[in-house]
Amino acid sequence: MSAATTEVSVFKPANELSQIFAIPALVGSEKLEDYERFLASVVSAIKPTDVVGWLFIKDYVDWSWEIRRERIIKAETIKYYEKQVVAELIKSEFAPSGQFEAAYYRIFNAGADLDLWVTDPKCRENVDKGLAAKGYDASYILAQAYLRGDHAISAIDKRIAGHEQRRLAALKEGGLWSDRLERKLVQVTSEVIDGVFTEAVN
C-alpha cells in the first residue's frame, strides 16, 4: 500500500459526502483504480480536515481528470485526421500504373493497406518510408491533420484551458493555494495527465 493510500484512510470524507464521493463518472477505458490513486495522491498533498476541504479536493481532482480526458481525446482526434491524410496518399501514391489497375487498387486493396498501416508497425514503417520518399514525411502528414482538424482541436484546447482555470479557482477559493502545495500538486497531477497511472492511454 502506497503512502498516499495510507493517508486517505486517515482523512476520510464525512458521511454526508458519501454520495459526492461515490463512483465517479468515468467513460471509455478510464479505470476506477486510476482515479482513486490520483485522488489519494491529492488527499496526501492537501490533507483535508473538514467538509470544505474535501469538497475543494473533489473539484480539483475532477477538473484534473477532465483535463486528462481531453488530452487523450485530442491525441485520438489528431490520429483520426492523420489516418484520413494517409488514406488519400496511399490511394494516390501507391496505386499501380494503368487506369483499370489503379481503380481496382483504390477500391479493393487500398483500405487493407491502410488497416495494416494502423495495426502493423513494420507495415507502417514501410509505408511511411515510401511516402517520405515522395515528399510526404511525418511532419507533412501531421500538419495536414492539424489543418483538417483545426476546429475540433481548437475546441478541445479551449475546454482544457477552461478546466485549468476552474481547477486553479477551486484551490484559490478554498484558501488552499501556496507555493509549496503548488509544487506538490503539479507533480502528482502531471502523473495522471501524462498517463503514468494507467497504460490505457498508450
195 grid coordinates? 498517463
Q: Helix (H, G, I), strand (E, B), or coil: what is residue 90?
A: helix
**Residue 14 maps to a domain:** yes
**Residue 200 maps to a domain:** no
Q: Tell me the pLDDT tens digit for each residue of 49-69.
A: 777 778 888 888 999 999 999
pLDDT of residue 126: 95
Q: Helix (H, G, I), strand (E, B), or coil: what is residue 115?
A: helix
Q: Tell me the pLDDT tens digit for each residue of 29-47.
A: 999 999 998 998 888 887 8
**Residue 166 maps to a domain:** yes
40 grid coordinates? 489519494
Q: Helix (H, G, I), strand (E, B), or coil: what is residue 160?
A: helix
**Residue 201 maps to a domain:** no
**Residue 198 maps to a domain:** no
Closest to 42 (Cα-Cα) out of 200, 193, 151: 193
**Residue 144 maps to a domain:** yes
Query: Based on the structure, what is the number of domains in the chain?
Result: 1
Secondary-structure percent of the chain, ordered helix, strand, coil, rounded to 5: 75, 0, 25
What domain range includes position 16? 3-193
Look-up of cell digits 489519494: 40
In a 13 Å sphere around the CA of 10, the CA atoms on its Cβ side amount to 11
